[in-house]
Amino acid sequence: MHIISLVETWSDSGKPVDNIPGFDFICNSTRKKHKRARRGSGGISLYVRSSIYKGISKLTCTHNNAVWVKLDKHFFNLKNDIFMATVYFSPEYSSGCTEDINEVYSKLLRNIEHYSQLGDIVIQGDFNAYTNTIPDFVISDEAKFPKSKDNDYSIDSHSLRNNLDSKSANKSGKLLIDLCKESGLRILNGRTIGDPLGKCTCITYNGSSLVDYTLVSSNLLQCIGNFKVSDFTPISDHCPISCSLLTCFHKCKTIETKLDPLPGKFIWDNKAIDCYTTNIQNSHVKQRLDEFVNDKQIDCNSAVEKFNAILCDTALLSTKFVQKKIMNRPIKKNKKPWFSDSCHDLHTTVKKYCLLVNKFPDNGSYRKSFYSFKSKLRRRCKQEERSYKSQICDQISLNMKKDPKTFWNLLNKLSSLSEIKEENNFDQELFINYFKKMNSTSNIQNNKFHDIIIEKLTALKKTLNTCNSDNEFNKHIQPAEILNAVKTLKNAQIKQKYKRTVVNIVTKKVNEYYECPLSRHLIG
Chain mean pLDDT for the chain: 80
> pLDDT value at position 126?
92
Residues, the chain, total? Answer: 524
Average pLDDT for 252-275: 76
pLDDT confidence tier of residue 108, bands split at 50, 70 and 90: very high
Q: At what angle do helices 341-359 and 364-398 cross, to 10 degrees?
A: 160
> pLDDT value at position 499?
53
Is the pLDDT score of 390 beyond 80?
yes
Q: What is the 3-state secondary structure (H, E, C) of 405-442?
A: HHHHHHHHHHHHCCCCCCCCCCCHHHHHHHHHHHHCHH
Measured CA to CA in angstroms, residue 371 lies from 125, 233, 374 at distances of 24, 12, 5
Per DSSP, 75 falls in state: H
Is the pLDDT score of 371 beyond 60?
yes
Reported as a single tens digit per residue, the pLDDT across 332-362 is: 667 788 888 999 999 999 999 999 998 888 8
> pLDDT value at position 469?
55
Query: Is the CB of residue 522 less than 8 Å from the CB of residue 503?
Result: yes
Nearest to 213, CA basis, from 172, 264, 270: 172
Helix or strand run (H / E) with residue 305: helix 300-318
Average pLDDT for 81-104: 84
pLDDT confidence tier of residue 379, bands split at 50, 70 and 90: very high
d(CA 287, CA 305): 17
Question: Position 160: which residue type?
Answer: L
> pLDDT value at position 466?
67
Average pLDDT for 272-282: 90
Helices first, then strands: H and E counts in the chain: 16, 15
CA–centroid distance for 270 within its chain: 59
> pLDDT value at position 129?
92
SS3 68: strand
Higher-confidence residue of 33 and 272: namely: 272
Is the pLDDT score of 147 beyond 70?
no
Highest average pLDDT, of 54-58, 371-375, 390-394, comes from 371-375
19-23, 48-52, 506-510: which range is least confident on average?
506-510
Could you tell me which residues come within 8 angstroms of residue 355 by beta carbon, excluding any fewer than 6 positions away?
Answer: none
Helix or strand run (H / E) with residue 483: helix 479-487
Query: Is the CB of residue 210 less than 8 Å from the CB of residue 200?
Result: yes
> pLDDT value at position 520?
43
d(CA 304, CA 40): 65
Share of the chain above pLDDT 90, in %: 24
Strands 119-126 and 81-88: parallel
> pLDDT value at position 523?
42
Reported as a single tens digit per residue, the pLDDT across 469-485 is: 555 556 666 777 776 77
Query: Is the CB of residue 124 less than 8 Å from the CB of residue 224?
Result: no
> pLDDT value at position 298?
82
Is the pLDDT score of 436 beyond 90?
no
Query: Is the CB of residue 124 less than 8 Å from the CB of residue 214?
Result: yes
> pLDDT value at position 171?
92
Higher-confidence residue of 492 and 189: namely: 189
Share of the chain above pLDDT 70, in %: 74
Residue 364 main-chain phi, psi, to 5 deg: -70, -35
- Assign 3-state DSSP to the chain and report helix, strand, coil percentages, each to 5: 45, 15, 40
> pLDDT value at position 124?
93
d(CA 241, CA 220): 18
> pLDDT value at position 146?
53
pLDDT confidence tier of residue 414, bands split at 50, 70 and 90: confident
> pLDDT value at position 142?
56
Measured CA to CA in angstroms, residue 496 lies from 335, 487, 490, 503 at distances of 70, 14, 10, 11
Q: Environment class of residue 144 by beta-carbon count within 10 Å: exposed (0-12), middle (13-18) or buried (19+)?
A: exposed
Query: Is the CB of residue 138 less than 8 Å from the CB of residue 156?
Result: yes
Per DSSP, 454 falls in state: H
Is the pLDDT score of 491 beyond 70?
no
Whole-prediction pTM: 0.62
Could you tell me which residues come within 8 angstroms of residue 44 by beta carbon, excluding any fewer than 6 positions away?
Answer: 5, 6, 7, 9, 28, 29, 66, 67, 86, 87, 88, 125
pLDDT confidence tier of residue 156, bands split at 50, 70 and 90: low
